[in-house]
Amino acid sequence: MGRTRNKKTKAITTLDVLARQKEPPSSAALLEKAQSLIVQCDYELAKRFIERALQADTTDSTAREMLGVVQLELGDLDDAKQTFESLVPPSSTAPPTPPTSAFLYLAQLVAEDDPHSALRYYQTAVDILQAQLKGKARASDDDKNDETETKQTAVRALISMVEIWMDPAQDLCFDPVAEKTCEELLQKALVTDPGNAEATQMLASVRMSQQRPDEAKQLLDQAWSVWKDFDVDDPRLPSLETRLALVRLFLELALFAPALLVLQGVMAVDDQEVEAWYLEGWCFFLMAEQSKTSGEPIEGLTWEELAKDAYDCLQTCKTLHTNQDHPDRPLLEHAEELMHTLDGFGITPSPADEEDDEWEEADSDDVGSDDDIEMS
């Protein structure tokens, strides 16, 4: 019988194994492992592999780019900013061809405090991407998937520039050239990728700010029609953030049925999304208001039923907001304001066991199918 070991064996990581090898691991091997760890969201360990690679070559731009991404994920924003700044001019350590992602990350990092610098970073990224697309156009054996991704990245950068110009918290939105600039940026986006849903949606938002609701409706119809029939797990779907922004525009135009359908898709992916529950509650609240004023039911529901549904959604929003320590305080305050109004109407939340049963049926019957919805 062998002796029992009393001491605990120390866990050995892949990094330890590599360190004990006679031949030191190559930078490529270290970065390949780091990338797999990033995919697994193990950012702390990924950082160790990247730092090991940088010990061998401090100028490795790929390693520095990966380090910046990991620092972002770990919340080390100042360190990430310094890392990305080292990859772009005028830094003496910038590579001959700076990575486009460095400009895009820097734009996001400085947008709130320095919108002018953010715009410059975005513009540089767009120029690089447009040059890449021109090169691809001359080639006969391009990877079409890569070209599509490049177009989408360029469009997102242009949309981000529009968002900076339209941000009411920034002075730029009061600039006399703001409206014209937004139009030009979005036209460039639609030339880069004709029919792009996100660019079309952003143009609809601009039309709303210009008090042109009919044109906004047409544009939203175009944008939504690109992806509304996709499955809930289709990778071509816009981001949740983009879809929630679409819901807000629908609500501004009192287009309740499409708003609920988009929210249904969002919640199928993430039923813990605070803003989705808030927007659904707000949608039902607006429907209840309209029904109460007109005296007519909407989608077969009375104003009291709609108000109760609103209360249930807003209550869920409040609970999730608290549990997640969600940072959006204005959203919570508005949800509570709406609930207070419903309290004044004598509306109370549904019993928990009734709530799920009712909406399993309502999802298919009350909202209606895509074909039933008209945007006009």
Distance CA 99, CA 349 (A): 53
Distance CA 173, CA 271 (A): 35
Q: Which two tokens stand for residue 361?
A: 């049926």
| Residue 214, pLDDT score | 97
Q: Is the dihedral of CA 354, 355, 360, 366 positive or negative?
A: positive
Q: In the 8-state DSSP scheme, what is residue 298?
A: B
The CATH code belonging to domain 240-376 is: 1.25.40.10
CA distances for 321 relative to 54, 73, 340, 342, 351, angstroms: 41, 22, 17, 19, 20
Q: Please name the amino acid found at residue 246.
A: L
pLDDT digits (tens, 9 = 90+) for 249-285: 999 999 999 999 999 999 999 999 999 999 999 999 9
Domain boundaries defined on the chain: 240-376
Instruction: List Cβ neighbours of 26 (8 Å cut-off, separation of 6 or more).
Output: none
Beta strands in 106-262 (DSSP E): none
pLDDT digits (tens, 9 = 90+) for 220-231: 999 999 999 999
Output the tens digit of pLDDT for each of the chain's 376 residues. Answer: 444 455 444 555 665 655 555 678 999 999 999 999 999 999 999 999 999 999 999 999 999 999 999 999 999 999 999 999 999 999 999 999 999 999 999 999 999 999 999 999 999 999 999 999 988 655 444 456 789 999 999 999 999 999 999 999 999 999 999 999 999 999 999 999 999 999 999 999 999 999 999 999 999 999 999 999 999 999 999 999 999 999 999 999 999 999 999 999 999 999 999 999 999 999 999 999 999 999 999 999 999 999 999 999 999 999 999 999 999 999 999 999 999 999 999 998 887 655 555 444 444 444 444 444 444 3
Closest C-alpha to 41, from 13, 81, 69, 14: 69
Q: Which two tokens stand for residue 201?
A: 């949606």
b (16+ CB within 10 A) / e for 306-333: bbbbbbbbbbbbbebbeeeebeeeebbe
| Residue 353, pLDDT score | 59
| Residue 351, pLDDT score | 79
Give the predicted TM-score (pTM) of the model: 0.83
User: How many other C-beta atoms lie within 10 A of the C-beta of residue 157?
Assistant: 25
Q: Which two tokens stand for residue 297?
A: 């039911």
Element (H, E) at 201: helix 197-209
| Residue 115, pLDDT score | 97
Rg for the chain, CA atoms, rounded: 25
